[in-house]
């Protein structure tokens, strides 16, 4: 089955610690995205990548970093500079062709909590 | 800066009733998406609206887009309990046909359908 997987489902971070959230897709999509969702709010874009080895900052990139070394993978690192990391993190992917409908397909999410 | 506003933010409906959720956005766009999110879960794509006047229907849900008014509606017909969820609209910023793949989400409408 094609889809997007995220791991872990729950992640606990200690003060000053960097943590990495995994996102893998087997949909052969070019574009991948990371969103943050806070309770009772919509999604905010952290980073996105249209092709391998290239990525752009979204609206709330401070305190986060990403890499895109493989088409299938787009890991997100929450650094110690992110002072309020507690949130639900969603990874998404899309075909990436600007002339097609750009429906984004979402993974199951990772819930990050601070100890 | 693109702003996307949904109303109402909370909607409590009786089964069998009809209602409409509104999504207003602040800048030109001809691509709008509706998603559903169940509590603690990821987002599921409902509709993709690609042009002015677009109307799509699936079951008891119908979505429409008026790009001149910068307004999309999600109409619920004869609501049933299974429709209880949070509904998000999202707008794709486009320039000259090129998608940057950046979706801006509304705050979400929490729909509760009760007997």
Q: Do A104 and B33 touch (CB under 8 A)?
A: yes
Integer CA distances (angstroms), B93 to A44, A72, A101, B27, B74, in order: 14, 25, 13, 8, 20
Interchain CB contact of B97 with A (< 8 Å): yes
Q: How many CB pairs under 8 A join A and B?
A: 58
- Model pLDDT for residues A40-90, shown as the tens digit of each residue: 888 999 999 988 999 999 989 999 999 999 999 999 999 998 989 999 999
pLDDT in tens, B15-74: 999 999 999 999 887 789 999 999 989 999 999 998 888 899 999 999 999 989 999 999
Closest chain B C-alpha to A25 CA, distance in angstroms: 15
Structure tokens of B59? 């079951």
Return the structure tokens found at A25.
């897709």
Mean pLDDT of chain A, nearest integer: 91
Measured between beta carbons, the chain B residues lying within 8 angstroms of A93 are none
pLDDT of amino acid B92: 83
Chain A residues lying within 8 Å of B88, measured CB to CB: 42-43
**Is the pLDDT score of B95 beyond 80?**
no
* Six token digits for residue A18: 């960097």
Which position has the token pair 């949070």?
B86
Q: Given an 8 Å threshold on Cβ–Cβ distance, is A108 in contact with B102?
A: no
Is the Cβ–Cβ distance between B109 and B6 less than 8 Å? yes
């Amino acid at each position: 089955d094609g889809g997007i997987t995220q791991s872990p489902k729950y992640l606990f971070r200690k003060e000053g610690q960097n943590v990495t959230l995994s996102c893998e897709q087997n949909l052969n999509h070019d574009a991948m995205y990371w969103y943050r969702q806070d309770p009772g709010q919509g999604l905010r874009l952290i980073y996105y990548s249209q092709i391998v080895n290239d990525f752009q900052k979204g609206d709330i990139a401070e305190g986060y970093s990403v890499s895109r070394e493989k088409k299938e993978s787009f890991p997100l690192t929450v650094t110690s500079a992110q002072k309020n990391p507690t949130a639900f993190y969603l990874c998404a992917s899309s075909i990436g062709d600007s002339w097609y409908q750009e429906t984004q397909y979402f993974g199951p999410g990772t819930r990050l909590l601070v100890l | 800066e693109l702003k996307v506003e949904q109303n109402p933010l909370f909607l409590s409906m009786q089964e069998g009733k009809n209602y409409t959720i509104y999504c207003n956005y602040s800048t030109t766009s001809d691509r709008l998406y509706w998603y559903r999110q169940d509590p603690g879960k990821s987002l599921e794509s409902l509709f993709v609206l690609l042009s002015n006047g677009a109307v799509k229907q699936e079951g008891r849900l119908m979505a429409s887009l008026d790009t001149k008014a910068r307004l999309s509606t999600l109409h619920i017909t004869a609501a049933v309990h299974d429709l209880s969820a949070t509904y998000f609209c999202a707008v794709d910023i486009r320039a000259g046909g090129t998608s940057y793949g950046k979706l801006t989400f509304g705050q979400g409408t929490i729909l509760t359908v009760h007997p």
